[in-house]
Amino acid sequence: MENGLLNLKAMDSEQLREHGHKMVDFIADYYKNIENFPVLSQVEPGYLRKLLPDSAPVQPESLESVLEDVQTKILPGVTHWQSPDYFAYFPSNSSVAGFLGEMLSGGINMVGFSWITSPAATELEMIVLDWLANLLKLPSDFLSKGPGGGAIQGTASEALLVVLLAARDKVLREVGKDALGRLVVYGSDQTHSSLLKACQIAGIHPENCRLLRTDTYNEYALSPESLTDAISHDVASGLIPLFLCATIGTTSSTAVDPLLALGKITKRYGIWFHVDAAYAGSACICPEYRHHLNGVEEADSFNMNCHKWFLTNFDCSALWIKDRSALIQALSTTPEFLKNKASQEGTVVDYKDWQIPLGRRFRSLKLWMVLRLYGVENLQSYIRNHINLAKKFEDLVAQDPRFEIVATRTFSLVCFRLLPANKNEEYVNKVNRELLDAVNSSGKIFISHTVLSGKYVLRFVVGAPLTEERHVIGAWKLFQEAASTFIEN
């Protein structure tokens, strides 16, 4: 038969329609029943190999048999990030609009490395990132009409890596490539681990990566004084300050680094200034949270993950840069087989030169659909609702003398811990580790942890699209019940 496929054709509009409708119903039913699953998967390592055959089938199987396996074998091994009882790490939003955009992108399935391979993919990305930059009131240097612009990366790690490479190569062009071992990168001990990984990839020596100490007295923000001290010391030692990564909303406690003061220091020393707002950037579309971005006008690059808290299905990490030529010089390749008139005339953007991979999906579609199907006001309400729910949880914790709040809540993350009568730090940490295990292994909620100033801390983040007040209250009851067990012991 056509395309050599006996039953299901490689592609066929009516088979896609028939099977696509079945899959939509399967996914809708998944969301309908999502509260019935343990949030954190409770399977043992290696569980799936026992359930699946050792080799691919020679003959085709039906969609029904595959979906039966998804239901009975795959879903028990899924940790349900979209469950309303998911409060771990940071959120990773799925939404109706984001899902539809992802579906459309998968349907068109074009590979947009150059403008010519689908002009709409490149141009929609430029337009939608301009829209979002304006919502965030980013400086106009980040808009696509000037020498800067935005591009969608897969993750904040990739965004950070490409701007580090741009900064590295810009400086090495000036001072010579043998200076690689003298380049120094700065962040705080709260900066995301992707900074160290990016340095490792870029060949920047780990011992030249300064993760400056933060402390509880200034809420784990990077202190401008400690940055100045470190830079002065490095310059005196003959090293070359290259790059600063500041964070709006750190992973452990959503600390906010003081952009304005840090930015002025980077200007003085000619350091590339990157701002990582992967999680908290979304909140800054609300006027009452925008002040956290004050000073972003000093930045050379800025990143926010629309796939975290902005209803855009994973992956979609928005990166803006003031000088796109630095990025393109670091990442451009133009083999003969990719040459084309539009690129050679220089009138178009070829996003292949803004990223690590060559190929890229049509990810702007889902961000565009999120912005259009929800509209700005509803997106602001969405953020505010989560922050209010986090505040509600914080209030509940504060009212229970057995618990303490460990860091000030700024967005939708509450950092807290159980404080038993025996306040020996090691014992307290052990109790909280066990408390975390107890609530997670109940399957009723999923939270994660961090360590702040030596304290083992429970992180409770509100950010799943289905979470309502009843889920937050239910989660709190779970902590209270578990606490009773631990305190009695």
Query: Can you tell me which of 175, 357, 395, 484 binds a second copy, judged by CB under 8 A?
Result: 357
Beta bridge partner(s), residue 336: none
According to the binding rule CB under 8 A, does residue 21 interact with a second copy?
Answer: yes
According to the binding rule CB under 8 A, does residue 455 interact with a second copy?
Answer: no
Stretch that binds a second copy, among 8-16, 267-275, 394-402, 473-481 (CB under 8 A): 8-16
Residues 308-327 that bind a second copy (CB under 8 A): 311, 313-315
321: closest CA among 133, 173, 157, 192? 133
Question: Between residues 55 and 399, which has the closer beta carbon with respect to a second copy?
Answer: 55
Is residue 90 within 8 Å of residue 461, measured between CB atoms?
A: yes
Residues 33-92 that bind a second copy (CB under 8 A): 40-41, 43, 45-49, 52, 54-63, 65-66, 70, 73-82, 89, 92
Query: Can you tell me which of 179, 196, 261, 478 binds a second copy, judged by CB under 8 A?
Result: 196
Stretch that binds a second copy, among 24-32, 294-302, 421-429, 474-482 (CB under 8 A): 24-32
According to the binding rule CB under 8 A, does residue 147 interact with a second copy?
Answer: no
The Cα–Cα gap between 392 and 410 comes to 13
User: Rounded to the nearest whole angstrom, what is the least distance from the CB of residue 14 to a second copy in the complex?
Assistant: 7
Torsion, CA 419, CA 421, CA 425, CA 428, rounded to 10: -50
Q: Taking the CA atoms of 111, 113, 116 and 122 in sequence, report the sign of the dihedral they define.
A: positive
320: closest CA among 357, 273, 359? 273
The Cα–Cα gap between 343 and 474 comes to 56
Query: Can you tell me which of 217, 236, 237, 347 binds a second copy, judged by CB under 8 A?
Result: 347
User: Rounded to the nearest whole angstrom, what is the least distance from the CB of residue 324 to a second copy in the complex?
Assistant: 16
Give the contacts of 203 (CB within 8 A, at least 6 positions apart).
180
Residues 267-306 that bind a second copy (CB under 8 A): none
Is residue 93 within 8 Å of residue 473, measured between CB atoms?
A: no
Is residue 274 within 8 Å of residue 300, measured between CB atoms?
A: yes
Query: Can you tell me which of 286, 348, 405, 478 binds a second copy, judged by CB under 8 A?
Result: 348
Residues 245-264 that bind a second copy (CB under 8 A): 251-252
User: Rounded to the nearest whole angstrom, what is the least distance from the CB of residue 402 to a second copy in the complex?
Assistant: 24
Q: Site map for a second copy, 360-379, x if CB under 8 A?
A: -x---x--xx-xxxxxxxx-
What the block records as the tokens of 55 is 């080799």
